[in-house]
Amino acid sequence: MRIISGSAKGTPLAAPRGMLTRPTSDRVREALFSIIQSRLDLSGMLVVDICAGTGALGIEALSRGAGRCSFVEHNTNALKCIKTNLAASNCQERGELLPFDALKALKLFEKRGDRFDLVFFDPPYASELYACLPEQLCSLGLMAVDSLLVMECSSRNILPEHIGCMVKSDRRVYGDTALEFYVLEEV
């Protein structure tokens, strides 16, 4: 597993041993960022990687020009890997590690007044967070006006067309993995 493009292109990424995390494959990340960059200019964006695992998605965004990324992960071994990966990619100055439960992190973001341009959400496929976290992003006002939420899920799990203040704009399937893209619904 490596950074695909940008300033850290080719940097190998560490991952925790075992089945605790399910890192997004290089092929899926390459496709994901091709889609993102056809819609958005990552330059200077505020990004959050929720249930970050190895941090591959957030670090890829930083490598491609995002301004800052907050990495939300509660697992200690995964946090160590994110810290290692940020240092290896020379992105540690623009990365923030938050060793919290995802919903607790959202409350912190609300308190700080954060508004994210790009949100990655990749929990365990059986997680109950799919049902509540996107709604919280909306109700807490954490999405910027032209923001994009990307949720990774099992290809067998089709997420709803509308979640809170967001509407699904795209769905792509890569083997067992699906990427679901949401934007703020126009009123």
Which pTM value belongs to this model?
Answer: 0.94
Tokens representing 185?
Answer: 């619904």
Q: What is the pLDDT of residue 119?
A: 97
* Domain definitions of the chain by residue range: 26-184
Please say if the pLDDT value at position 109 is more than 80. yes
User: Going by C-beta distance under 8 Å and a sequence separation of 6 or more, which residues neighbour residue 87?
Assistant: none
SS (H, E, C) 135-173: HHHHHCCCEEEEEEEEEEEECCCCCCCEECCEEEEEEEE
Tell me the pLDDT tens digit for each residue of 49-92. Answer: 999 999 999 999 999 999 999 999 999 999 999 999 999 999 99
Number of other residues whose CB lies within 10 A of the CB of residue 171: 15
Options 3.40.50.10490, 2.60.40.1190, 3.40.50.150, 3.50.50.60; CATH of 26-184: 3.40.50.150
Please say if the pLDDT value at position 20 is more than 70. no
* Residue 125 confidence class, pLDDT cut points 50, 70, 90: confident
